[in-house]
């Protein structure tokens, strides 16, 4: 792994961003919600390294605290999606028959709907909040994982070590948990890493439309929405949150590419 520069670079970037998010109260130069009427739309300077927004709030502080929200939503939402996908994919792949048909037909039906518009509809019904966004993205993002897990288990369940486990009387759930899922973990981990990047981008899009994290809580997407009316006079409000999203997504994609190289 030390020779895998793509993987190491991605892990380093995410490690730095995670450290910044965890140490936000110590690294943030200002309160991210502090309104300063004397510094409205101030450009980057020594006082405000990345400038301020239309309410005089320090952009660097908001980006640092926004990293907490965006990374948390991406990781937790994909954790929910991966957990659900593992359960249904394992059941469909191992037991087959009616269970496989019902689960896969349901997955096919849900995949027929554009996921983003499905999430928009659900968010419009429920009150937008950080918890709701995590749960909604997780509940609408498990189908791809389920199909991946099912395919892996279909190729593994006829292997000799699975037949040996059956011969000694191991139960279906034990075989799934102790033998099948660990051996299918590699592709699932790559898929989950890509899913974290997709979840962060999705949250940013929802926040940009005003259906994600609600003000005054800062997230990278909610910071971007403020730039629509100030783009011509305050370029920094668009540039720096956009760069944060870009770098984070690229880093997760680098990790996924590096893991794929290590696994296969």
- Average pLDDT estimate for 205-231: 80
Confidence of residue 123 (pLDDT cuts 50, 70, 90): confident
Instruction: Return the higher-pLDDT residue of 195 and 123.
Output: 195
Residue 227 has pLDDT above 80, yes or no: no
Predicted local confidence at residue 78, as pLDDT: 92
> If one looks up domain 59-263 in CATH, what number appears?
1.10.3720.10
- Average pLDDT estimate for 106-126: 81
Structure tokens at 137: 């993205």
Confidence of residue 22 (pLDDT cuts 50, 70, 90): very high
Predicted local confidence at residue 248, as pLDDT: 94
- Domain chopping of the chain, boundaries: 59-263
């Amino acid at each position: 792994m030390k020779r895998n520069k793509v993987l190491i670079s991605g892990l380093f970037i995410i490690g730095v961003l995670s450290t910044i998010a965890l140490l936000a109260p110590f690294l943030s130069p200002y309160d991210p919600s502090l309104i300063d009427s004397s510094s409205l739309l101030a450009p980057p300077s020594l006082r405000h390294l990345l400038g301020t927004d239309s309410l005089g709030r320090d952009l660097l502080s908001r980006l640092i605290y926004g990293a907490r929200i965006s990374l948390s939503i991406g990781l937790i939402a994909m954790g929910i999606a991966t957990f659900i996908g593992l359960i249904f994919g394992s059941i469909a792949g191992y037991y087959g028959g009616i269970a496989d048909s019902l689960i896969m037909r349901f997955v096919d039906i849900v995949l027929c709907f554009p996921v983003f518009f499905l999430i928009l509809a659900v968010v419009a019904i429920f009150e937008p909040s950080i918890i709701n966004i995590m749960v909604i993205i997780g509940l609408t993002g498990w189908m791809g994982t389920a199909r991946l897990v099912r395919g892996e288990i279909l190729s593994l369940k006829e292997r000799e070590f699975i037949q040996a486990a059956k011969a000694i009387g191991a139960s279906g759930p034990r075989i799934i948990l102790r033998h099948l899922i660990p051996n299918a973990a590699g592709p699932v981990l790559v898929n989950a890493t890509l899913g974290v990047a997709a979840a962060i981008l999705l949250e940013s899009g929802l926040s940009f439309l005003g259906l994600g994290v609600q003000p005054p809580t800062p997230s990278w997407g909610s910071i971007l929405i403020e730039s629509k009316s100030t783009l011509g006079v305050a370029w920094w409000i668009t540039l720096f949150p956009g760069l944060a999203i870009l770098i984070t997504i690229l880093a997760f994609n680098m990790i996924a590419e590096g893991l794929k190289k290590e696994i296969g």
